[in-house]
Amino acid sequence: MIYRQLFRQHDAAAVVAAEAHEQRGDDREDVVATRLKTYRAQTAPLIGYYTARGLLRSVDATVGADRVAEEVMRIVDSLSAAG
């Protein structure tokens, strides 16, 4: 429901489907805002921490689940072989 509210997706099928279901308790704007605030304060700083130490590995998650899994396994295998 948040997606539809943010991006104004109002096609008839989406509206009917959304109205047929109750909004989940964790799909409210205040809950999402709290999660994002927590992410920015506690998780996002780890990107810089691990990057500075040469320990961060990135995976493009837009390429599909199979390719993501292959890339993750490639990274894990390379780390296993190195250490």
- How does the average pLDDT of the chain come out, rounded? 84
CA dihedral 57, 60, 61, 67 (to 10 degrees): -100
Q: Could you tell me if residue 13 is inside a domain?
A: no
Q: Could you tell me if residue 62 is inside a domain?
A: yes
pLDDT one-digit tens code per residue, 4-15: 555 565 666 666
More confident of the two residues 73 and 21: 73
More confident of the two residues 47 and 22: 47
More confident of the two residues 50 and 28: 50
- Give the N- to C-terminal CA distance of the chain in Å, as an integer: 45
Total domains in the chain come to 1
pLDDT one-digit tens code per residue, 34-69: 999 999 999 999 999 999 999 999 999 999 999 999
Q: Could you tell me if residue 36 is inside a domain?
A: yes
Q: Could you tell me if residue 51 is inside a domain?
A: yes
Identify the domain containing residue 52 by its residue range.
Answer: 25-82
Q: Could you tell me if residue 37 is inside a domain?
A: yes
Q: Could you tell me if residue 3 is inside a domain?
A: no
Q: Could you tell me if residue 10 is inside a domain?
A: no
